[in-house]
């Protein structure tokens, strides 16, 4: 059984840990508000952009003059998985859930005999995937020095992906990220970005009634690269909000667990102390009776 000194030191150590987790929870809560606002403000633009692009894509259809980013290479043999995670840990299962989804997709594609390539954004995803899929890695984008993710960062990632597509390194590209719902709910999501895939809506169908100048093919050729950057930027914002929400929830749980552990250790300490006092009293009484 540990001594009273050991128990006292343990209680002091857990109290220090609780202070740290509580501070991290408060910092995550402050960052979450900004990250959530940014993610929610980006959604209407992304949805409207997707609707316009879907209408243009529907107008072009299977035309031979359709941009390559829309029509694709005609094959899906080589798949690029862009796994977007955080640069820091201590955020519960946020990173693990994204990696798990990417890992499941990679295993499925490999089982179908297709070639898989992995591009990671954020070192936590890289660290988890490289243990099993190091040979499939084709690159890594480090955002560790970026204090606040902006559209410029998304453009850099999109430029990297598009340059690889133009070089014929892959046929289909899919990004993996976590979509933010609330503090306790973040949904791991996979979205195909190359070739461009748009969800058809009523608004998208209505946009095909317009006449465009220049023609749809020319507009698509200009907007499709921007569409890839927009989807990457939206994923980064969703990831940022999800990370802070997951960290806030994880640190709250850690703080509660530390409090429970302090209560249990305090009970053990008090019992041990009472036992030691009782033992000393018995020894004193026994000595007095012997005299």
Binned at pLDDT 50, 70 and 90, residue 202 comes out as low
Instruction: Give the largest Cα separation in the chain, rounded.
Output: 113
Binned at pLDDT 50, 70 and 90, residue 204 comes out as very low
Q: How far apart are CA 15 and CA 252, in angstroms?
A: 14
Binned at pLDDT 50, 70 and 90, residue 63 comes out as low
CA angle, 204 as apex, 182 and 62 as ends, to 5°?
120
Q: What is the mean pLDDT of residues 61-90?
A: 86
Annotated catalytic residue 241: no
pTM, two decimal places: 0.87
Q: What is the mean pLDDT of residues 16-31?
A: 95
Distances (CA, A) of 269 to 151, 257, 262, 264: 55, 18, 10, 9
Q: What is the mean pLDDT of residues 179-196?
A: 92
Which residues of the chain does CATH 1.10.287.80 include? Answer: 4-20+252-290
**pLDDT at site 72:** 86
Binned at pLDDT 50, 70 and 90, residue 171 comes out as very high
Q: How far apart are CA 56 and CA 54, in angstroms?
A: 5
Q: What percent of the chain has pLDDT over 90?
A: 67
Distances (CA, A) of 3 to 198, 226, 280: 66, 65, 15
**pLDDT at site 65:** 67
Report pLDDT digits (tens) over 208-266: 456 666 777 777 878 899 999 999 999 999 999 999 999 999 999 999 999 999 999 99
Q: For residue 66, what is the DSSP state? A: S
Q: What percent of the chain has pLDDT over 70?
A: 92
Report pLDDT digits (tens) over 87-135: 999 999 999 999 999 999 999 999 999 999 999 999 999 999 999 999 9
Q: How far apart are CA 72 and CA 221, in angstroms?
A: 13
Checking if the pLDDT of 60 tops 80, the result is: no
**pLDDT at site 199:** 67
Highest mean pLDDT, choosing among 64-78, 90-104, 267-281: 90-104
Q: What is the mean pLDDT of residues 132-144?
A: 93
Residue 16's φ and ψ, nearest 5 degrees, are -65, -40
Q: How far apart are CA 149 and CA 29, in angstroms?
A: 18
Distances (CA, A) of 172 to 70, 74, 140, 154, 196: 11, 10, 18, 19, 9
Element (H, E) at 50: helix 4-60
Which residues of the chain does CATH 3.40.1380.10 include? Answer: 34-250
Domain range 34-250, CATH architecture: 3-Layer(aba) Sandwich (3.40)
Q: What is the mean pLDDT of residues 148-160?
A: 93
Checking if the pLDDT of 272 tops 50, the result is: yes
**pLDDT at site 128:** 95
DSSP 179-223: EEEETTEEEEEEEEEETT-----HHHHHHTTS--SS-HHHHHHHH
SS3 82: strand
**pLDDT at site 62:** 59
Query: In the CATH hierarchy, which top-level class contains the domain 4-20+252-290?
Result: mainly alpha
Catalytic option among 11, 35, 70, 91: 91
Q: How far apart are CA 180 and CA 133, in angstroms?
A: 27
Q: How far apart are CA 43 and CA 186, in angstroms?
A: 16
Which residues, 6 or more positions from 132, have their beta carbon under 8 angstroms from its beta carbon?
103
Cβ contact 18:258 at 8 Å: yes
Averaged pLDDT of the chain: 89
């Amino acid at each position: 059984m540990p001594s009273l000194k050991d128990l006292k030191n343990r209680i002091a150590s857990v109290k220090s840990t609780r202070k740290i987790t509580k501070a991290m929870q408060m910092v995550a809560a402050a960052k979450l508000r900004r990250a959530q606002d940014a993610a929610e403000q980006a959604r209407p633009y992304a949805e409207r952009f997707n609707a316009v692009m879907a209408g243009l894509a529907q107008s072009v259809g299977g035309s031979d003059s359709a941009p390559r980013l829309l029509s694709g290479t005609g094959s899906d043999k080589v798949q690029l998985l862009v796994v977007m995670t955080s640069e820091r840990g201590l955020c519960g299962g946020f990173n693990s859930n994204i990696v798990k989804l990417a890992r499941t997709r990679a295993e499925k594609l490999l089982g179908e005999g297709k070639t898989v390539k992995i591009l990671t954004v954020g070192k936590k995803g890289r660290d988890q995937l490289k243990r099993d899929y190091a040979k499939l890695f084709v690159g890594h984008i480090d955002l560790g020095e970026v204090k606040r993710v902006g559209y410029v960062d998304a453009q850099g990632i999109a430029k990297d992906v598009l340059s690889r597509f133009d070089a014929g390194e892959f046929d289909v590209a899919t990004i993996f990220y976590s979509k933010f719902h609330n503090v306790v709910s973040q949904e791991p999501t996979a979205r195909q970005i190359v070739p461009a895939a748009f969800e058809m809506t009523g608004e998208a169908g209505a946009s095909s009634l317009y006449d465009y100048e220049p023609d749809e093919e020319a507009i698509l050729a200009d907007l499709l690269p921007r569409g890839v950057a927009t989807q990457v930027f939206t994923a980064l914002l969703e990831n940022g909000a999800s990370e802070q929400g997951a960290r806030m929830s994880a640190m709250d749980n850690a703080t509660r667990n530390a409090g429970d552990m302090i209560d249990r250790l305090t009970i053990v300490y008090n019992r041990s102390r009472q036992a030691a006092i009782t033992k000393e009293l018995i020894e004193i009484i026994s000595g007095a009776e012997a005299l």
